[in-house]
Amino acid sequence: MLRWALMSLCFIAHYDVSSGQDRVEQSYREMPASEGVQVILRCNYTTTSNTPYLFWYKQLPNRSPTFILNKYSFSEGTTEAEFKKRFSATLDSTSRSVPLTIQDVCVSDSAVYYCALQ
């Protein structure tokens, strides 16, 4: 007899961080998910810059934030090697968003995720 268990993962987003007219806003405080699914963490931004430069970070409890990736308005940006297989983001300058997509989520993905704008 096989037993299936759904594992609840928690993605916590710190949101509405601003500096002057430039700011980012993340739409979820917590996002429960089952292991193996795709999760999309939303991040909208406002900036006076014509060339936005956005970042995603992951922070585990009692640890410093870890860089995941960055996106430029006219470039692909970079993604850290350990995140390349399952983590991706696309900067959409029309909707002013840079959602982070995590494929095939696993328990170790449970963390606080930060979107940042330079």
- In this predicted structure, the answer to whether residue 53 has a pLDDT above a threshold of 60 is yes
pLDDT digits 0-9 by tens, 77-114:
888 999 999 999 999 988 999 999 999 999 999 999 99
- In this predicted structure, the answer to whether residue 1 has a pLDDT above a threshold of 90 is no
pLDDT at 74: 66
Residue with tokens 């993605």: 11
Decide which of 76 and 103 is more confident: 103
- In this predicted structure, the answer to whether residue 2 has a pLDDT above a threshold of 60 is no
pLDDT digits 0-9 by tens, 4-49:
333 334 444 444 455 568 899 987 778 889 999 999 999 999 998 8
pLDDT at 76: 74
Amino acid (1-letter code) at residue 4: W
Phi/psi region, residue 96 (left: phi>0; alpha: psi -120 to 50; beta: rest), is left
DSSP string, 10-60: EEEE---EEETTEEEE-S-SEEEEETTS-EEE--EEE-S-SS-EEEEEEE-
Residue 58, classified by CB atoms within 10 Å of its CB into exposed (0-12), middle (13-18) or buried (19+), is buried
